[in-house]
């Protein structure tokens, strides 16, 4: 299993606080069967995002794992949990590799817990023009989308990818998040499962239980696609393979032009 969303780097945000926390989270992930971790600290007004510091913290973690003989059990990558602030968006359009997963163009985008930023559809389009592929993180936990999940349809039509949290699949984030995650999985709206791990207790770096639940409900092929194959392609900057047709996305197209239409006109 490959985890694309993980707050592993210590002392940078509300994830791991100490180097020991980072090591404990890594070892828990390894024990769970995770083979790759993308370290994704928040990039927002509250937490400073600095790739040089991120690299230095990751090197500290790698050195300690090598000393204990665990270094060859996990492969690390770097990215961020990108918040849709004006400064972030403008900088990402100029420096897309700075924020994307391993500098290869896939960008984890986080919404507030409540509400949808004004002009979000156009922002996704502008990020795409800059060479980025936005991946919307845990929309099942956004209260506005829980009430009106159909707001995601135009985004998915336009090429937005969706990441659901492993904990949501198994009910860790409440009934509403679990219900929306289940609907999205059943309708093929999901492209990636990730942990969004912050610690080893309330937000643990575990995917196995969710992967097993998806396999039981939707089949082994779906579980592998969402937890291994798609994340692996994203990790290494490759295009996703053929995906199943999302249900209810293309059957009610409106006259409004999609992002792809705009891109083709350029």
Q: What is the pTM assigned to this prediction?
A: 0.92
Is 60 exceeded by the pLDDT of residue 252? no
pLDDT tens digit string along 128-181? Answer: 999 999 999 999 999 999 999 999 999 999 999 999 999 999 999 999 999 999
Domain hosting 54: range is 2-265
Please say whether the beta carbons of 126 and 266 come within 8 A: no
DSSP letter string, 235-247: HTTPPP---PPPT
Q: Cα separation of 205 and 43, whole Å?
A: 20
Domain of 92, CATH number, reads: 3.20.20.140
- Band of residue 257 on the pLDDT scale cut at 50, 70, 90: low
Q: Residue 126: phi, psi to the nearest 5?
A: -65, -40
State the average pLDDT for the chain: 94
- Percentage, residues of the chain above pLDDT 70: 94
Q: What is the pLDDT of residue 262?
A: 52
Considering its fold, how many domains does the chain have in total?
Answer: 1
Q: Which helix (H) or strand (E) holds 32?
A: helix 19-32
Q: Rounded to whole angstroms, how far apart are CA atoms 118 and 123?
A: 9
Mind listing the pLDDT tens digit for each residue in 89-102? 999 999 999 999 99
Give me the mean pLDDT over the 244-263 stretch. 66
Looking at residue 258, its pLDDT comes to 52
pLDDT at 5: 98
DSSP string, 33-68: T--EEEE--EESSSS---HHHHHHHHHHHHHHHHHH
- pLDDT of 197 over the 50 cut: yes
């Amino acid at each position: 299993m490959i985890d694309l969303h993980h707050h592993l780097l210590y002392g940078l945000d509300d994830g791991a606080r100490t180097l020991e926390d980072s090591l404990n989270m890594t070892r828990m992930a390894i024990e769970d069967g995770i083979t790759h971790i993308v370290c994704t600290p928040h990039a927002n007004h509250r937490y400073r995002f600095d790739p040089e510091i991120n690299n230095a913290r990751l090197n500290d973690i790698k050195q300690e794992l090598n000393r204990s003989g665990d270094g060859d059990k996990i492969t690390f990558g770097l990215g961020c949990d990108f918040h849709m602030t004006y400064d972030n968006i403008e900088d990402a359009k100029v420096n897309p590799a700075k924020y994307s997963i391993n500098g290869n163009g896939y960008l984890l985008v986080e919404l507030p817990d409540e509400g949808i930023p004004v002009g979000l559809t156009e922002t996704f389009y502008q990020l795409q023009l800059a060479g980025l592929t936005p991946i919307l993180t845990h929309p099942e936990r956004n209260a506005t989308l829980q009430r009106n999940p159909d707001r995601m349809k135009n985004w998915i039509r336009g090429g937005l990818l969706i990441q659901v949290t492993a904990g949501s699949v198994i009910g860790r984030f409440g009934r509403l998040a679990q219900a929306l995650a289940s609907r999205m999985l059943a309708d093929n709206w999901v492209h990636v499962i990730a942990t969004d791990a912050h610690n080893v207790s309330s937000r643990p770096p575990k995917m196995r239980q969710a992967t097993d639940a998806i396999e039981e409900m939707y089949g082994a092929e779906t579980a592998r696609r969402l937890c291994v194959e798609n994340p692996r392609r994203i990790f290494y900057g490759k295009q996703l393979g053929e995906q199943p047709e999302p249900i209810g996305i293309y059957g009610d197209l409106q006259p409004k032009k999609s992002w792809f239409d705009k891109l083709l006109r350029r």
